[in-house]
Amino acid sequence: MSVTVLDPERHGSLRLLQSTDFSFARDRIMVPVWGQEIPHAARFFPVVFMPRDDQWIPIALMGLEEGRNPFVSSRGKWLADYIPAVLRAHPFYSVESGQGEPVLGIEENDPSLTEDMTLEERSLPLFEADGTPSELTHTALSVLQQIRGQQEHTWKAMRILERLDLLAPWVPRSGERGSSQLYAVDETAIKNLDDERFLELREPGVLALIYAHLVSLRQFHSLQKSHSQLWLAAKQQGSNALFPQESDLFIFGDR
């Protein structure tokens, strides 16, 4: 994936095809999830933690085989009732500017982007004719700013878990060795906290994160199902709604 800073001179003629094709996520088995979306993701995927650049990243685990996400069909259909916000925002991403500030970036080689004006009726421009950002681009920026805000809240909670030494290598099955890459909350370590340290868990978002994470680990068996079983389960469940109807978190256009 090659993400560059969105630039009107370089990307001024690009348009985004209105599509629900998630083929781009077929090889992604670890997808970041943040803040208020974690309880939603926890209903469908194990949410575990990965250390990266002095931060802890909550990860929705979507597969057991590298490069094979069973929640994406051969035709690019998403096969679960929840879609993580960063996938919904694709092909837009948050990247750092030369000054280290977060700015809007785009995966410019993504097939959903086109310069073909014959597809105008089913595509949306990234920029207006005068070079100003389009409504689509403003929406994408707003979504990514929301994600960034949720990241900050999540990182604050994760620093508390790290400081209290509550993270341990994840052991998905009894008797197996823990992962050297993925971590989970150690319930025994929580029980062994003294009263003073336990009170730190009452900081905003910490307990909610712990509860959602621990509940999510029950979803591990779903990753062992075949692709056809996942497809059947999705058909039986019906809706592919991104969020419950009462939530407007990370709503991204009508994709």
Q: pLDDT per residue over 11-39, tens digit each?
A: 999 999 988 899 999 999 999 999 999 99
Share of the chain above pLDDT 90, in %: 65
pLDDT band for position 224 (cuts 50, 70, 90): low
The whole-angstrom separation of Cα 207 and Cα 200 is 10
73: Cβ contacts below 8 Å, ≥ 6 apart? 79, 227, 231
DSSP letter (8 states) at residue 191? H
Buried b (16+ CB within 10 A) or exposed e, 196-220: eeeeebeeebbeebbebbeebbebb
* Mean pLDDT on 157-161: 97
Identify the pLDDT of residue 251. 42
Identify the pLDDT of residue 255. 38
- Two tokens at 187? 């319930």
The whole-angstrom separation of Cα 147 and Cα 86 is 8
> What does pLDDT average to over the chain?
85
Q: Tens digit of pLDDT for each residue in 225-245?
A: 644 465 454 444 443 333 333
The whole-angstrom separation of Cα 91 and Cα 140 is 9
DSSP letter (8 states) at residue 78? B
The whole-angstrom separation of Cα 198 and Cα 21 is 45
DSSP letter (8 states) at residue 241? -
pLDDT band for position 177 (cuts 50, 70, 90): low
Which of 74-78, 159-163, 169-173, 219-223 comes out lowest in average pLDDT? 219-223
Identify the pLDDT of residue 117. 84
49: Cβ contacts below 8 Å, ≥ 6 apart? 56, 57, 58, 59, 158, 167, 182, 183, 184, 213
Identify the pLDDT of residue 242. 31
Does residue 93 surpass a pLDDT of 60?
Answer: yes
**Burial classification of residue 15, based on how many CB atoms lie within 10 Å of its CB (0-12 exposed, 13-18 middle, 19 or more buried):** buried
* Mean pLDDT on 189-196: 95
In sequence order, the β-bridge partners of residue 93 are 105
pTM: 0.83
- Two tokens at 147? 């994600």
Q: Tens digit of pLDDT for each residue in 108-151?
A: 999 999 998 878 788 999 999 999 999 999 999 999 999 999 99
| Angle in degrees, CA 185, 38, 18, rounded to 5 | 145
The whole-angstrom separation of Cα 136 and Cα 142 is 10
